[in-house]
Amino acid sequence: MRAGEFELIDKIRRRANVGPEIRLGIGDDCSSIVVPPNYELLTSTDLLLEGVHFCLDWTDLFSLGIKSVAVNISDLAAMGAKPVSLHLAVGLPANFSDEQVEQFLNGVFAGLECYEVSLVGGDTCRSEGPLVISATVQGICHKDQVITRGGAGAGDDLWVSGTLGDSGLALHFLQMNRPLSAFLAERHYRPEARVVLGQRLAIENLATAMLDLSDGLNGDLSHLLRASTVGARVELERLPLSNEFKDELRIDQSLFDLALCGGEDYELLFTAKPAMRDLLEQLSVEMNLSLSRIGEITSTPEFDLVMASGLIYQPQISAFDHFGSTKDKSRE
């Protein structure tokens, strides 16, 4: 039999570190944070449901714990904020064992440690259906340094960190029962929130607008453009692709759309003035993280995906929509 709710909360509480901004952590009706003068408090919530966002046949619980934390923190990275605290609510299926709960929590705590975030509160209950995970992360950012989606202007360069489509390719392989390489498994199960990059861009005032890529470049770019009331011209030959992705592309060219619409890249997409090119290239070298200039912002509200030939490309699959099924995604 599994331990009761209060026993589990006590267990979690004993493992929770408490950072300097935390006045009250787990154990009261609310957590309490002290926000330094001239800083804002940023918050994001993610709901992850078994069967929709993840499948327990395809992921181990430790990886799921880490990923739940990372994808939530990625939203803070996208504003340039420093992550501070996490509230975690979980609905545990009745047949979950203490060992399974432990594996999941070990992953959560590994993620928290990686980003130096304190677990400060949450909720635990039984679920009569699937595993339910709700994570709410809070962070701080100087009021003059918050990078929203709405600041892009015509003539700005469009940049993206890392490589695109790896996580989508991994999901595609999982759906076909193909084993994953270590690289693809890492990209799919253990995405890294680009927290350091986000903060550097914010503190050094390098970016004009930013978001994180969770639904795929094609869909997420449209959110940034709409918020900034601008358009964009994306040069497809400039999209950063991993060697493994390129290898697969040589065999099946239709996989290219995964780089545009695969989702779960958790890279940062941002805009910057052309005057910042040298500084961004320096930053890329310093951080050992590729930053690719993939296009530019235009004043017309449309955006075009331009091929090397100069022709406009039209993806065959649309953006990731969590109202659609993960398994049916390629048919949407």
Among 58, 324, 70, 114, smallest CA distance to 215 is for 324
229 binds a second copy (CB under 8 A): no
Residue closer to a second copy (CB basis): 75 or 244 = 75
Q: How far is the CB of 246 from a second copy (least distance, A)?
A: 29
203 binds a second copy (CB under 8 A): no
227 binds a second copy (CB under 8 A): yes
121 binds a second copy (CB under 8 A): yes
Residue closer to a second copy (CB basis): 141 or 221 = 141
Q: How far is the CB of 131 from a second copy (least distance, A)?
A: 10
Among 269, 171, 254, smallest CA distance to 216 is for 269
Question: Can you read off the two tokens belonging to residue 195?
Answer: 């927290």
**Residue 178, helix vs strand vs coil:** coil
Which residues within the stretch 56-115 sit at the binding site for a second copy (CB under 8 A)?
75-76, 78-79, 81, 85, 87-92
Quick one: which H or E segment has residue 234? Answer: strand 231-235
Q: CB-based contacts of 258: which residues, under 8 Å, 6+ apart?
A: 165, 168, 169, 172, 245
Sole window of 48-56, 109-117, 239-247, 283-291 interacting with a second copy (rule: CB under 8 A): 48-56
Residue closer to a second copy (CB basis): 190 or 322 = 322
Give the Cβ contact number of residue 237 at 10 Å: 9
Contact 295, 158 (CB under 8 A): yes
324 binds a second copy (CB under 8 A): yes
Among 269, 267, 195, smallest CA distance to 227 is for 269
Among 119, 23, 26, smallest CA distance to 68 is for 119
13 binds a second copy (CB under 8 A): no
**Residue 193, helix vs strand vs coil:** coil
41 binds a second copy (CB under 8 A): yes
Sole window of 106-114, 121-129, 188-196, 233-241 interacting with a second copy (rule: CB under 8 A): 121-129
Between the alpha carbon of residue 254 and those of residues 83, 248, 315, 316, the distances in Å are 38, 10, 9, 9
Residue closer to a second copy (CB basis): 180 or 272 = 272
Q: How far is the CB of 263 from a second copy (least distance, A)?
A: 13
Q: How far is the CB of 134 from a second copy (least distance, A)?
A: 4
Which residues within the stretch 131-160 sit at the binding site for a second copy (CB under 8 A)?
132, 134, 136, 138-139, 141, 143, 146, 148-150
301 binds a second copy (CB under 8 A): no
